[in-house]
Structure 1
Amino acid sequence: MTSEYVCLSLILARKLREELLDFLSEQPGQTSGFTVSDAAGHGSGVQLPTAAERVKGHADQVHVQIVLPGADARRLVDQLRHSFAGCNLVYWIAPVAEFGTIA
C-alpha cells in the first residue's frame, strides 16, 4: 500500500511560533521537514488581541506547511488538538499531486 501525500497547513498566532516549532521538531517520523512563513491574518474569524494588530488591521501569524502521508497528517492534527487546545490554531489538509526534490 502506498502512502498518499498531503500538505498540512497550520496557522497560529506568531507569539506561539517557537512553541509550535518545538512541538513539530519533537515529532520524529511524522515531520521530517516543514516550511515556516510569517503571515498576516485577515477576516471575520481572525482575532486581533493586541492594539498594534487592531491598528494594522491584521493578526500577526505564522504559517507552517508540512508534506507528509495522509495518515500521519491526521495523527499530527489529533496531537495538535491536545497540545494547542484553546490557541485558535487553524489547519487544513490538501492533497499533493506530486512531491520530490530536484538536487
Structure 2
Amino acid sequence: MTDQPVCLTLIVPHQLREEVFDYLAEQTDLVSGFTASHGAGHGADVRLRTAAERVKGHADQTTVQMILAERDATSLLDRLRASFAGTKLFYWTIPVAEFGTID
C-alpha cells in the first residue's frame, strides 16, 4: 500500500445515509471530508427495499466520494466491513492523478 491518493466511492442505500454520514464524520483519523449526491441504483444485485422503489424500478441510493491515501482507504474499508456487515454497501477505488484546491 502507498500514500498514492485514491477516490473511494461508496454506494449507500437511502435508509443508511445518515448513519453512514455520521460514521464517516467520526473517522477523523482517516476522513477529512466527503461529497455525497443522490443516486438511483439499477441492476440484478440492487435491493429494492420499499414499495415505492419497486414501482419506480430503482433503489434510492446515495453516492459518497472521498479522496484518501490508498492505505487510509484500505483501513476505512476494513472498518466499514466490520461496522456495516450485511448491508450490501457497494464500493470501488480509483487512482487520482492530481488533487488540490483552486483558490
TM-score by length of 2: 0.96
Deviations 1:12-65 (A, max 9, x none): 111111100000000012110100111000011111011100100100011100
Secondary structure at 2:11's aligned position in 1?
strand
Q: Does 1:12 pair with 2:12? A: yes
Secondary structure at 1:85's aligned position in 2?
coil
Gaps of 5+ in 2: none
What letter corresponds to residue 60 of structure 1 in structure 2?
D
Secondary structure at 2:97's aligned position in 1?
coil
**Aligned partners of 2:83, 2:15: CA distance in 1, in Å?**
16
Tell me which residue corresponds to 2:88: 88
**Aligned partners of 1:95, 1:25: CA distance in 2, in Å?**
23
Percent identical:
60
**Which 4+ runs in 1 deviate beyond 4 A?**
none
Tell me which residue corresponds to 1:49: 49
**Aligned partners of 1:70, 1:24: CA distance in 2, in Å?**
16
**Aligned partners of 1:64, 1:50: CA distance in 2, in Å?**
21
**Aligned partners of 2:84, 2:3: CA distance in 1, in Å?**
27
TM-score by length of 1: 0.96
Gaps of 5+ in 1: none
**Aligned partners of 1:3, 1:83: CA distance in 2, in Å?**
24
